[in-house]
């Protein structure tokens, strides 16, 4: 007979997600996922669908990092340097979003969904850039050197 007093793993995962989204990093990642989804929808509805690959790739990568950080797998899997991987993901995402979105907004050609995708892409690029900045500050603070010892013993 099944034990009905034990919490289900689905509820446990949902609680972890709710508590992680309340953190600064969790809310940044959730915002990046939501903006990537909006950009993807805008590009899919437009006549020119070539820019949707960036939104798909960034959304999938951000969902993967959200899951890794939410389940605290970054502390269990020590082979990968997760902070630097997240820095590269956010940095490359911000640069690509800003470049692609500027091209789409400038050369929109009268397609409203394409221009809206470009505007939301610019907002997403700025959010990814802010995420890159916060990760950089985290790396910088973790690398602070302690004062050199003045002990004469060798």
pTM: predicted TM-score of the whole model, two decimal places: 0.83
Query: In this predicted structure, what is the pLDDT of residue 153?
Result: 59
Domain range enclosing 56: 24-141
Residue 5 lies in a domain: no
Within-domain flag for 9:
no
Is 94 within a domain? yes
Q: What is the DSSP string of 40-51?
A: HHHHHHSS--TT
- Cα 1 from chain centroid? 43
- B/e letters for 52-68, b = 16+ CB within 10 Å, e = fewer, are bebbeebbebbbebbeb
For residue 77, tell me if it sits in a domain. Answer: yes
Neighbours of 50 (CB within 10 A): 10
Q: Does residue 146 lie in a domain region?
A: no
Tens of pLDDT, residues 11-54:
688 888 889 899 999 999 999 999 999 999 998 998 877 778 99
For residue 93, tell me if it sits in a domain: yes
């Amino acid at each position: 007979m099944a034990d009905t007093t034990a919490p289900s793993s689905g509820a446990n995962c949902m609680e972890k997600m709710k508590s992680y989204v309340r953190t600064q990093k969790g809310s940044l990642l959730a915002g990046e996922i939501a903006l990537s989804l909006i950009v993807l929808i805008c590009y899919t509805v437009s006549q020119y669908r070539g820019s949707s690959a960036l939104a798909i790739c960034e959304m999938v990568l951000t969902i993967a990092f959200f899951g890794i950080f939410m389940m605290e797998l970054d502390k269990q899997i020590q082979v990968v340097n997760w902070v630097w991987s997240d820095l590269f993901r956010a940095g490359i995402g911000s640069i690509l979003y800003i470049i692609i979105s500027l091209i789409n907004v400038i050369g929109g050609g009268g397609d409203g969904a394409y221009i809206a995708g470009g505007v939301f892409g610019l907002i997403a690029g700025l959010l990814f850039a802010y995420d890159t900045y916060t990760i950089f500050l985290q790396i910088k603070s973790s690398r602070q050197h302690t004062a050199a010892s003045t002990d004469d013993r060798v």
